[in-house]
Amino acid sequence: MLTGAQILFKVLEQENVEVIFGYPGGAVMDIYDEMVHHDIKHILVRHEQGAIHAADGYARASGR
């Protein structure tokens, strides 16, 4: 049986996601543990709102 984190990365890879933005801690640690098994680049931010703004800027600049 797949975990939620494994399903998340399977879907991200199917959608050709190359970069994700985030802030580790608490409930999302399973995602960070799974991340080491995949080639998706992670951009670490200092605040949750910073992740949103960084992802928005990345999407606008890259068209992805």
Domain membership of residue 47 as a residue range: 4-62
Q: What is the chain's pLDDT, residue by residue, as a tens digit (64 residues)?
A: 999 999 999 999 999 999 999 999 999 999 999 999 999 999 999 999 999 999 999 999 999 8
The number of domains in the chain is: 1
Q: pTM for this one?
A: 0.85
Q: What is the 3-class SS of 11-59, one letter each residue?
A: HHHHCCCCEEEECCCHHHHHHHHHHCCCCCEEEECCCHHHHHHHHHHHH
Locus of tokens 């608490």: 26
